[in-house]
Amino acid sequence: MVQVKVTYGEGADTTVPLPSYETTGAAGADIRANLPEGDIEITPGARVLIPTGLSMEIPHGFEVQVRPRSGLALKHGLMLVNSPGTIDSDYRGPVGIIILNAGEQPFLVTHGMRIAQLVVAPVVQARFARSETLSETARGAGGFGSTGGH
């Protein structure tokens, strides 16, 4: 098991639980809004940076992916704009979650609410090398629906 060290930032409510897995088979750990100064309403079409009150020390060779919670997406139209977002292992600043309300009604993010999930994943860094040619494949340069079908 990989350990990710977590600290609460200045002014954060330290009674808000750390990210946690809600079931034994969960890939993502739920992370919560940390809003000691009050809830935040997201109007339809708006995007807001929601503070978590946390900073992390992610081991080298790993990243933390930030993904939406499917229930919030289905029931309320909430999306993460840059999903999946990446928290790099060398970042030590505050973690915020960018939420877009694609729904038709305002949505109230409340203090301590589970707003996203975090997936810890290994990272492989590549060496990019310039080449004059690329190998041929059956697909070739086809993209954006080029394989047909539904």
Q: pLDDT tens, 67-99?
A: 999 999 999 999 999 889 999 999 999 999 999
Superfamily classification of domain 5-122: Deoxyuridine triphosphatase (dUTPase) (2.70.40.10)
Which residues, including other chains, have CB under 8 Å from residue 77's CB and lie 6 or more apart?
Answer: 44, 101, 102, 103, 104, 107
pTM recorded for the entire structure:
0.89
Q: pLDDT (tens digit, 9 = 90+) per residue, 13-29?
A: 999 999 999 999 999 99
Tokens coding 16: 């808000």
